Amino acid sequence: MEPVASGKVKDIYDAGDGRLRFHFSDRVSAYDVKFAQEIPRKGEVLCAFAEYWFESLGVPHHFVEKVSDTDIIVKKMEMIPLECVARGYLYGSLYDRYLAGKATLDLDDSRIAALLPRPIFDPTTKSEHDMPVDRSEAVRMNLVSESEYDRLERITLDIYKKMADTARSAGFIMADLKLEFGILDGEIVLGDSIGPDEHRLWPLDLYAPDKTQDTFDKQILRDWLSSEGHKARFERERAAGAAPTPPAIPNGIIEKMTRRYLEAYSRITSKSLGTHTDN
């Protein structure tokens, strides 16, 4: 098959007949930095989650079938140039922007990880370094029309509620969620993939605001990078016009990510991909 694109995690091939083949690799990135090490079985979990969510959400999508442990077939569509983010908690970049006065929120509780009064739609551009945009900015930049923005907001928040409810029944809090959509046969449909790289997943029994949360997603790596000063170093290197240099990820972090990706899949889907073994 002819290669179409190779991203931070997925490799995309032309499967013919108006279809694409997504290959989910074990590659990992964080803060827009790609790392040399891989996370064993990550691609397998992402692929399995993509199949599960596309088939269980009950919304129009471009998924066709899963064809291997790490590959799915999807229909080609015109992707909408907007990352559609739903947030239920004050965390991550939203918390940073709020502290910096760059996010206006009406909050009863402004502690980190506090539950928001209601889930919010917080989209970003799709670029090497995603930038938050509001409705007027998205329309002015010709990313979407006003009606498309409003529809994407409704769909994103509806999907977030469904996924958050499913996660809660499995003992997790889904703090936020990133989705992508496209146009297929004139309709807005769900696309790309959905899994631990697209949301924050916290164990419900350990949740408490005003602290960094335990997590079952890529935040494990982000938290380590922040605690070791690498995130700040990345920012300094970018400000100096240099490409950030990725550190070596400790084996303990790699193993923890694999274990927790597998456990999250098992608990949410009630299916097992087996125990943790290195590829």
pLDDT score at 29:
93
Chain-centre distance for alpha carbon 64: 21
List per-residue pLDDT tens for the chain, 279 residues long: 898 998 888 999 999 999 999 999 999 999 989 999 999 999 999 999 999 999 999 999 999 999 999 999 999 999 999 999 999 999 999 999 999 999 999 999 999 999 999 999 999 998 767 899 999 999 999 999 999 999 999 999 999 999 999 999 999 999 999 999 999 999 999 999 898 889 999 999 999 999 999 999 999 999 999 999 999 999 999 999 999 999 999 999 999 999 999 999 999 999 989 766 544
Q: What is the pLDDT of residue 174?
A: 98
State both tokens at 213: 């949360």
Radius of gyration, CA atoms only, the chain: 18
Q: Is the dihedral of CA 93, 96, 99, 100 positive or negative?
A: negative
CB neighbourhood size of 205 (10 A) = 9
Q: What is the pLDDT of residue 195?
A: 87
CB 122 within 8 A of CB 87: yes
Instruction: Please state which CATH number belongs to domain 78-269.
Output: 3.30.470.20
Distance in angstroms (rounded) separating the CA atoms of residues 83 and 77:
16
Backbone angles phi, psi at 258, to 5 degrees: -60, -50
Q: H or E element: which one contains 65?
A: strand 63-68
- Position 214 scores a pLDDT of 95
**Residues listed for the chain:** 279
By the 10 Å C-beta count (0-12 exposed, 13-18 middle, 19+ buried), 16 is classed as exposed
CA atoms of 234 and 31, how far apart (whole Å): 8
In eight-state DSSP terms, residue 9 is S
pLDDT of residue 279: 44
Domain with CATH 3.30.470.20 in the chain: 78-269
Widest pairwise Cα distance in the chain: 53
Six token digits for residue 176: 């936020």
DSSP codes, 169-212: HTTEEEEEEEEEEEEETTEEEEES--STTSEEEEEGGG--SSSP
Q: What's the pLDDT at 274?
A: 73
CATH superfamily of the 2-75 domain: Phosphorylase Kinase; domain 1 (3.30.200.20)
Q: Supply the pLDDT for residue 59.
A: 96
Give the global pTM.
0.92
- 24 near 41, Cβ under 8 Å? no
Residues of each domain in the chain carrying CATH 3.30.200.20: 2-75
